[in-house]
Structure formats: structure tokens, C-alpha cells
Amino acid sequence: MTGSRSGRGPDRPLRRRAALAPLLLLALGACGDGGSDSPTSPGAPTPAPVPTTDPGPLRAAAEAAGKRVGAAVFSSALAGEAQYAATFAKHFDAVVAEYEMKWDPVELQSGAYDFTGADRIVGFAEEHGMKIKGHTLIWHGATPTWVGELSPPELRIAVEDHIRTVVGRYRGRVYSWDVVNEAIDDQSHGLRDTVFLRGLGPEYLALAFRLAHEADPEALLVYNDYGGEGLGDKSDAIYALVRGLLEDGVPIHGVGLQMHISASGYPRAADIAANVARLADLGLVVNISEMDVRIRGLTGDTGARLERQRDVYREVVGVCVAHPSCESVTFWGFTDAHSWIDSFFGPDDPLLFDDQYRAKPAFFGVEDAFLGR
Ligand code: XIL
């Protein structure tokens, strides 16, 4: 996850990997979805309950834990794929736009705002009683080229206009904004070299939070980043950054832990818990903001890898469930048919539902975590 991500236009066709479906079918069969035709002889022990492919709503399990459960979506799939919309509406009570609220799609040309995709997602969420998270106002990725060509005074005006316009439009409807995304550099752990740092200096973070707060004083304002979920240098840098902002009286209310992780190497649950606790001690709310779990690096057959993925989901979501200051868990998509991982990291199956919208073991790992099992 370097700074070289490019944005994806909302009209780019999303890819299905039907070729993997038979493997996943086998895997799901192996985990107990045997169907109703297995004979049970009289007197035989009652079989243990097995997960079905049409499980109860995940949102009910999350509610039982006092958490919100969200997913990142695309408006094109919500409108164009009945199963995508139905699965999402059934299982999730919160939404974030995977792409369509970023600066590129809302203002590709200076001053020419286009909220078509964003409005569709917000409309869907409101129809289905979901909370809406805004993602993201200031990020080095998916920022239009014209922004990079501005002089410092022009950049300041553009940032002010962008934040006021976008946050103002959804005032009272978007409950939380990822105000600044990924500002910490992976190597130096200082501030990342971006158009915003170069043009506005380190004060750009405080400026962004203050502008967002003015535009919607009720919104929960969040700093969001990856690679700092557990303990370590990057997480220390994030902690120092947000503590500094708080000390300066900046209106920041939370930290998003992205949690794009791999089942073959991910932060220890105890470290994530310690990190959540120290952020909570600052008075901040925490959320798991973009979770997915890659499994292509695992050895073993498909069934074993999916079971391992289930365990990782259960363990990590369990950290949020256990901590009162962790308010929500959001997945970066929900079906393996539509995941950014395939194009950024290589083919994988990182999410809760397979390409055919059947619940994977990962789904039940998350459900178990919410239900404390
Ligand atoms: C990714 C989206 O998934 C892609 O569709 C888009 O092209 C680029 O951005 N961290 C973030 C997200 O904060 O905005 C990124 O989303 C994934 C990593």
C-alpha cells in the first residue's frame, strides 16, 4: 500500500471470478453446508448445527455487541446487481463509499462538483436505515491532478471549498468523516510528502479538521490510516500525531484502523487491544475502518485457508467487541466478487461472502466475534 494507488472511476466494470466458485463451493461444503439430503438414521446422534449459506443478518449480531457493522460499496453495483444490493441491505447497518466520496469523483474538474455516485449511496443507506460514514476528505490518493498544480494560496482556497462543500452537503446525514487519510510516511514515520504538506505545511491537518467541524459540528471527525493497528513505530507515530492535534485543541474525535491484513502475518490481538486502549485514554473513539484478510500467502488447501481466515476475522473483530471505545467494524467490501485486493495485491478471496454471495467461514468468524462465541 504505497502512495501510488490510482483512483478507480465508478463506471469501471467490477470483476467477477466465477472460476473460483467451484473451489469455494467445495470449501463451504467442507465446513458443513451439507444441504438437507444427508440421511440421518433413527437413533443416530443429532448432528451439530451447521452454518447455512443464508445465515441470519450480521447486523443483528453486531447490534447484540453494541457495535455497528459496515461495508464499503460502489453505487454501480448497488444499482446493477440485485444480489449485491440484497446481501448488503440484509447484513449491514452502516455504509461507506469505497470510491465515490473521494476528491477525484466529486470534483474531477475544478468547481465542477458531481455528487451522482455519492448521492446514490447516501440514498440507499437512508432507505435501509444505515449509518453513513464519509471517506475521505484529504488523501494523497484519488486527488485530482488540478489540485497538484495549484499555488499554496490557491491550494488553501481549494481545500476550504472542497471540505465546506462536501461536508456541508451531507451535514446531519453523514455521521462520521475520515477527515485525513494516511498522512504518516511508511519509512520515516514523519508526515508523508504530499501535495498538502508541500503546499500548506504540517498545519494542513489541523486546518482540515477545523473546516470539517465548522461545516458539520455534530460529525465525528476521524484520522484514518493503515499499518498502525497494533503496536510499533507507525502506530506510535499515529498516536503522537493525534495526541498533538488534541493538545492543540483541534476537533478530532477518533482514529480509524484500516486493518487491510494478511492471514499469514498480522498484528497480535493483544497489541491491537493495547493500541485501542491508549487511543481511548486520549478520549478518542476507535473504529476498524477497512478490514479485509488476504489468504493467498497461506499454504494448505482452500478449505484450510478459509478456516484460517475465519479465525483471523474472529480474533481481530473480537478486539473491537471487547473494547467499549471501538464503535464499529467496517469491511472494505463484502463479496470476493468485488474487492480492491485483486488488483492491488493479486488474486485473493479476502472478504465475508464468496463470488456467488454465499457466506464464507469468514462470515461466521465475524458473527462469532460479535456474539462472544
Ligand atoms: C481504494 C479503493 O478500494 C479502490 O477502489 C480505489 O481505486 C483506490 O482506493 N486505503 C483507503 C482506501 O483508505 O480509500 C483505499 O481504497 C484502500 C486503502
Residue 10 CA to ligand 1 center (angstroms) comes to 12
- Report in angstroms the alpha-carbon separations of 173 from 55, 78, 153, 370: 30, 19, 31, 26
Which residue's C-alpha cell is 504540517? 202
Residue 178 CA to ligand 1 center (angstroms) comes to 13
- Report in angstroms the alpha-carbon separations of 237 from 190, 226, 258, 271: 7, 12, 15, 15
User: For a substitution probing ligand 1, which of 340, 342, 343 has the most ligand atoms within 8 Å of its CB?
Assistant: 340
Confidence band of 368 (pLDDT split at 50, 70, 90): very high
Least confident of 12-26, 56-70, 151-165, 308-322: 12-26
Which residues have C-beta within 8 Å of that of residue 323, sequence separation ≥ 6? 273, 276, 277, 280, 286
The verdict on whether 182 is a catalytic residue reads: yes
Work out the average pLDDT over 246-256. 99
Please give all residues whose beta carbon lies within 6 A of any atom in ligand 1, as ranges. 1, 5, 7-8, 98-99, 141-142, 181, 258, 290, 340
- Nearest CA residue ID for atom 12, ligand 1: 98
On whether the CB atoms of residues 371 and 61 are closer than 8 A, the answer is: yes
Opening angle at CA 221, ends 220 and 222, nearest 5: 115
What pLDDT is stored for residue 54 in this prediction? 75
- Report in angstroms the alpha-carbon separations of 351 from 191, 323, 341: 31, 23, 10
Cell of 160: 476550504
Residue 49 CA to ligand 1 center (angstroms) comes to 38
Residue 114 CA to ligand 1 center (angstroms) comes to 19
Count of helix runs (H) and strand runs (E) in the chain: 15, 9
Work out the average pLDDT over 171-180. 98
Q: What is the pLDDT of residues 94-149, one digit of tens each?
A: 999 999 999 999 999 999 999 999 999 999 999 999 999 999 999 999 999 999 99
Reduced to 3 states (helix: H, G, I; strand: E, B; else coil), residue 314 is helix
Indicate the burial class of 303 (C-beta count within 10 angstroms; 0-12, 13-18, 19 or more): middle
The rounded mean pLDDT for the chain is 89
Indicate the burial class of 310 (C-beta count within 10 angstroms; 0-12, 13-18, 19 or more): buried
Please count the CA atoms within 13 angstroms of the CA of 257 that sit on its side-chain side: 34
Q: What is the pLDDT of residues 202-229, one digit of tens each?
A: 999 999 999 999 999 999 999 999 999 9
**Cα separation of 111 and 99, whole Å?**
19
Q: Which helix (H) or strand (E) holds 318?
A: helix 302-322
The full DSSP string for 158-208 is: HHHHHHHHHHHHTTTTEEEEEEEE--B-TTT-SB---HHHHHH-TTHHHHH
Cell of 213: 467541524
Res. 263: pLDDT tops 50? yes
Confidence band of 56 (pLDDT split at 50, 70, 90): confident
Which residues have C-beta within 8 Å of that of residue 367, sequence separation ≥ 6? 55, 56, 58, 61
Q: What is the pLDDT of residues 268-283, one digit of tens each?
A: 999 999 999 999 999 9
Indicate the burial class of 112 (C-beta count within 10 angstroms; 0-12, 13-18, 19 or more): exposed
Which residues have C-beta within 8 Å of that of residue 71, sequence separation ≥ 6? 88, 92, 94, 95, 96, 330, 331, 332, 333, 334
pTM for the model: 0.88
Please count the CA atoms within 13 angstroms of the CA of 225 that sit on its side-chain side: 24
